[in-house]
Structure 1
Amino acid sequence: MKAITVVPGDPGQVRVGEVPDPAEDEGALLVEGRLLGICGTDVDIVQQGYGSLPPGRDRLVVGHESLGVVVDAPVAGGFAVGDLVAGIVRRPDPVPCEPCSHGEWDFCRNGRYTERGIKERDGYGSQYWRIEPDYAIRLDPGVGDHGVLLEPTSVLAKAWEQTDRIFARASWRPRTALVTGAGPIGLLAALLGVQRGLDVHVLDINDKGPKSQLVGDLGATFHTGDVKDTGISPDVVIECTGHGPLVFELVDIVTPNSVICLTGMSAGSSPVPLGTDELNEKMVLDNTVMFGTVNAARRHYEQAATALSSADGGWLDGLITRRVPMDEYPDALHKTEDDIKVVVDLRG
Structure 2
Amino acid sequence: MASDASPPDEEKGKVMRRKQQKETADIEDLTSAGHKALQEGRPQDALSCFKQALKIAAQLQDSRVLRACSFNLGAAYVEAGRPQKGLDFLRQAQSGPKAKRLPDLQFNMALAHNALGQSREATSCFLQAAQLYRSQGDGGSEGDTCMEMGRCYSRIQDWSSAAWSFLRGAESYKVASALDSAAAALKEAGSHMVQSDQFNHNDIKGRLTESLSLSNSVSDPSTLGDLYLSVGVSYCRIRCFQEALACFQRALDPAAQRPPLLAKVLHNLGAALNSLGKFSSAVDYHRLAAGLYGSLGCHRDQARCFSNLAVACSHLGDDQEATESFILALQGFRDTGIRNLVFTEVRCVTFVFYGDRS
Greater share of strand residues, 1 or 2? 1
Structure of higher CA gyration radius: 2
TM-score range normalised by the length of the shorter chain: under 0.3
State TM-score, norm by structure 1.
Answer: 0.24
TM-score, with length taken from structure 2 = 0.23
Q: Which has the higher contact order (CA 8 A, sep 6+)?
A: 1
